[in-house]
Structure 1
Amino acid sequence: MAVSYMDFNSPNVQYFYDLRNNRTFTKDGNNFINALGIQQLNTLGNVSLLDIYLSKANVVEPHIHQNASELVYCIQGAAIVSILNPFTKTVLNFNITPGQVANIPQGWFHWEMASVDDTHLLAIFDAPVPEFIAVSDFLRLAPRDMLAHTYCLDQATVAQALAPIKSTTTIGPPADCGKHHMARPDSAPPQAEPHPQGSYPVYGARPSSFPGIGNGYNWQG
C-alpha cells in the first residue's frame, strides 16, 4: 500500500537501498539475513522483506509474525517451508525451488530448512516491520517448573534439555552446537510421518539432490 502521507517533494525521499548494508542476523558466512523495512527505504509503505541465505540443513527457527503474512520465494537452491495449521492441527511441508513460493498466513507458526547449500530465499511481508516471536525465546524464558507441571514432565529433565538455549536462535542449529545435535538431512520432513492429529503432507517438487524471527529483527541497520 502506498504511503499517502509521504512528501515526495522532500529531499529525504528514498527510492534505492542496498540490502547488504543492513545485516540483521549472522550465524556464519553462509547463514545470514539482510533486512529491508521503512527505516531503510521510507517509500515502501506496508511492505518489507528479509533476504535469507542458508546452507544445507540450517533452519530459520520456528516462529510467528503476529502482525504480518509472509510470502517465501526461492531465488536459488531449495528449502522446505513448514507451516503449522492451527485449525486442522497438522504440519504442512512445502518443498520450494527457484521460482516457487510458499505463503504463510499471519500469526501461524512456521519454519524454513535449506535442502541444499547456497540456498537463497526472499521473505516478503505485508507490514512495514514484521513482528517476530521465536520459539527459542519461549523455551529459554518460560519457567521450568511451569513447563514440567503443565505437560507432566520431569522438571530436572526439562531444565537440562533446555539449558543450552541461551539466546534467540534465529538460524539453527546454533554455531556452537555439537555435530551430534545437528539434524540429519535424511531425517528432514519430505517423507510423511504418522501423527495422532493428522499427517504431514509434502507439496511441491522434491529437489533431486535432497537426501533426506522478541518484537522484531534489528531493522535499524
Structure 2
Amino acid sequence: MCDQTFLAITFGPCDSCSENRPLMNLYIKTEPINYCSLCMEIMACQGLASGETLKSLKAESETLRKKLEEERKKLHDVELEKVAEKAEALGELNMKTRRTLKGHGNKVLCMDWCKDKRRIVSSSQDGKVIVWDAFTTNKEHAVTMPTTWVMACAYAPSGCAIACGGLDNKCSVYPLSLDKDENLAAKKKSVAMHTNYLSGCTFTNSDMQVRD
C-alpha cells in the first residue's frame, strides 16, 4: 500500500470522544483513525503556530487564491484555439490494470467512485450491488435487488449512502455504516418511482438530492 493519507466519511463512535457522530476516517499509511469533525478540528489546531487560528489560515488561503487568479488572468493573452493549433499530439496512452474486483455473476452495468478515492460501488446484470475496497479488493457491503439489470448506481458525496436502480423502475437509497454485516435491504428507501426503467442516477453536491 502506498504511503499516503486519505479521507472517507462514515458514521459511528469517535475514537477520541466516543460519541456516535459522522466520522472522518483518516488513514495514515495503513492505520485507520476514526474522528468526528470536532475532534479533527481540535487535532488540526494543535499544530498551529502562536497567534494562528483556522479562521486566519482560511483568510490567508483565500488571499493567496485571489492572487493566483490575478496572475493567471495576466497570462490569458491568447485564444485557446490558437494555442491548440500548436499543441503536440499526445503519445500512446499507457494504461495498466492495478486491481481486478471479482464477485459479480454477470455483466457490470455501472460503477461509481467514492470521493475518498478508495471505495467503489458497482451494479450488475445479476441484480447485485456491491461496495468494494478498491485497495484490498474486499467487498464491504452487498445487496441483492428485487430485479436483475441494475443499470445505475452512485455514491453519495459524504460516502455514507449509495443510490441504485434499474428494471424495477425505482431509485433506491441505502445508508452505509461501519458494520459490514448489517442488513442493507432493511434500510432501503425508495426515493423515486418511474414509469420505465432507471438508466442512470447521480447525487448532486448534497446527500439529500439525487438526479435520475
- The answer to which structure, 1 or 2, has the higher relative contact order (CA under 8 A, 6+ apart) is 1
- Normalised by the size of structure 2, how large is the TM-score? 0.22
Structure showing the higher helix proportion among its residues: 2
- Normalised by the size of structure 1, how large is the TM-score? 0.22
